Amino acid sequence: MTSWLSTRTPIRRLAAGLAAAALVLGLAALLPAASSASPSARPGLGEGWVASWAASPMATTSLEFAGAYAGFADQTVRNIIYTSVGGDELRVQVSNTFGAAPLRIGAASVGVVLDGAQLVPGTTRPVTFHGAASVTIPAGAEALSDPLAMTVRPLQELAVSLYLPAATGPATDHSDAQQTGYVASGDHAGDPAAAAYTTTDSSWFFLDGLDVHDPAAPGTVVAFGDSITDGARSRAGANARWPNYLARRLIAAFGGRAPAVVDEGISGNRVLNNSDCFGVSALARFERDALSQPGVKDVILLEGINDIGLSGEAEGGCFAPVNPSVSAAQIEAGYQELINMAHARGVRIFAGTLTPFLGSTAIYRGNYGTAYGEALREAVNAWIRTSHAFDGVIDFSRVTQDPYAPRYFNPAYNSGDNLHPSDLGYEAMADAIPLRLVR
């Protein structure tokens, strides 16, 4: 697959800075306050720890996920995850970021997946917190486990099981996991068998990270974005998101010296605005989800389609608070804020151009696929390509567009909704990223 990329050395331009500052002042009414739960960077930076898997925590609401809204009590959730790089130790991060009360973890374990909820016999290991099997996590906080001496292979499916002895209230989750998870009654965290796990779900609960100790890995690459980074409409359980394909390419090319790749996409997420179902804005969560990852060195940003698609959307519900009309300049100013945050931490940030969406109005309301929305998309993409604000540009739009009708998705890569890629489309996106960029 041909790749399109422009790179530059980060340069602070006075004129660009003044222009961005003026635009940011105009965003004051649009930008939400940062999340009240923005934990500092996890310990271990520079000590051989990298993030091998991650998922952005979200607030479960009754608007969209009524089944999980009440939470859990005397139940075990078994989260199935897929690593990028391996290591000789691991640690897990358990999240109560959006909990309304303290969260009690009665027991936790990690095991290698055999099939579904069934684990490979002999691989289940207990996880401790400050030497104890249980931990209570205050509302709005997270808990990082003790390091566990356990060999983790690259590109390996693991199960992280959490026993929840007391009522949790609405769960902190990641709603659109593209992965089947499992729930059992009672404490089955240490049980490798699948028999007790009689309920399935499609979210990750209370888990937002798994780190590995891998001194050979040259850092962590964070894929940061919306549903297209989250892997929406990819095959459940296939690990067919574009960050997964990128991780596999890196492992194939560099073996034990590949960087880690984590996916911090949220379906429906926006750069500028929070929503009740689709997470706090990119600006509010960037520190927590991207810059606080252990070993972070690069961010690949692909977000803005939902700011455009929901611009001027009048109906609330999952889209509340209602999105005001948004201009290309305001989205670009939001990008500049993310760039400034990344560069202040010595992290490079690369931008993906926004992919085509004409024709998606048959499924999605608002300005998805309208002439107005397309004009905004083209204006934002022009700025991404020509502003030289980012450390590099990956032209995902050119990769996925129909060669004969470039405002539409390539039929070969279209999942069927004219907005999201198919598995093959996600693979094409990953193939368009030059490995030297993140190596």
Residue range 352-381: mean pLDDT, rounded: 91
Return the minimum-mean-pLDDT range out of 17-31, 282-296, 392-406. 17-31
- Residues 97, 99, 105, 109, CA torsion sign: negative
Average pLDDT, the chain: 89
User: pLDDT grade, residue 170 (50/70/90)?
Assistant: very high
Q: For residue range 80-109, what is the model confidence (pLDDT) as tens digits?
A: 999 999 999 999 999 999 999 999 999 999
Is the distance from CB of 115 to CB of 57 less than 8 angstroms? no
Output the pLDDT for position 365: 78
Distance, CA of 119 to chain centre: 26
Write b or e for each residue in 142-172: b if 16 or more Cβ atoms lie within 10 A of its Cβ, otherwise e.
bbbbebbebebebbbbbbbbbbbbeebbbbb
Structure tokens at 150: 């356990």
Output the pLDDT for position 213: 98
Q: What is the CA radius of gyration of the chain?
A: 21
Q: Exposure of 371 by Cβ count < 10 A (0-12 exposed, 13-18 middle, 19+ buried)?
A: exposed
User: pLDDT grade, residue 4 (50/70/90)?
Assistant: very low
- What backbone torsions phi and psi does residue 436 show, to the nearest 5 degrees? -65, -25
Instruction: Identify residue 43 by its one-letter amino acid code.
Output: P
Residue range 209-215: mean pLDDT, rounded: 97
Cα gap 187→95, rounded to integer Å:
19
Return all residues near 429 (Cβ < 8 A) that are at least 6 apart: 242, 245, 352, 396, 399, 400, 421
Return all residues near 421 (Cβ < 8 A) that are at least 6 apart: 228, 233, 234, 242, 355, 400, 409, 413, 414, 415, 428, 429
Q: For residue range 28-45, what is the model confidence (pLDDT) as tens digits?
A: 333 333 333 334 455 544
Return the minimum-mean-pLDDT range out of 61-70, 193-202, 356-365. 61-70
- Which residue is it, tokens 């998705």? 409
Output the pLDDT for position 64: 60
Q: For residue range 109-135, what is the model confidence (pLDDT) as tens digits?
A: 999 999 999 999 999 999 999 999 999
Closest of 185, 152, 230 to residue 77, by C-alpha = 185
Q: For residue range 293-345, what is the model confidence (pLDDT) as tens digits?
A: 999 999 999 999 999 998 876 666 777 666 668 999 999 999 999 999 999 99
Boundaries of every domain in the chain? 5-38+215-438, 57-210
**Bridge-based pairing state of the strands 207-213 and 49-54:** antiparallel
Cα gap 375→68, rounded to integer Å:
39
Residue range 205-232: mean pLDDT, rounded: 97
Cα gap 26→287, rounded to integer Å:
22
| 269 vs 439, residue with greater confidence | 269
Is the distance from CB of 229 to CB of 71 less than 8 angstroms? no
Max distance between CA atoms of the chain, in angstroms, equals 64
Output the pLDDT for position 320: 67
Residue range 207-229: mean pLDDT, rounded: 97
Residue range 408-419: mean pLDDT, rounded: 97
Instruction: Identify residue 295 by its one-letter amino acid code.
Output: G
pLDDT at 6 over 50: no
Return the minimum-mean-pLDDT range out of 200-204, 293-297, 367-371, 384-388. 367-371
Angle between helix 371-386 and 328-344 (nearest 10): 40
Class of domain 5-38+215-438: alpha beta
pLDDT at 27 over 50: no
Phi-psi region of 184 (alpha: psi -120 to 50; beta: other; left: phi over 0): beta
Share of the chain above pLDDT 70, in %: 85
Output the pLDDT for position 42: 57
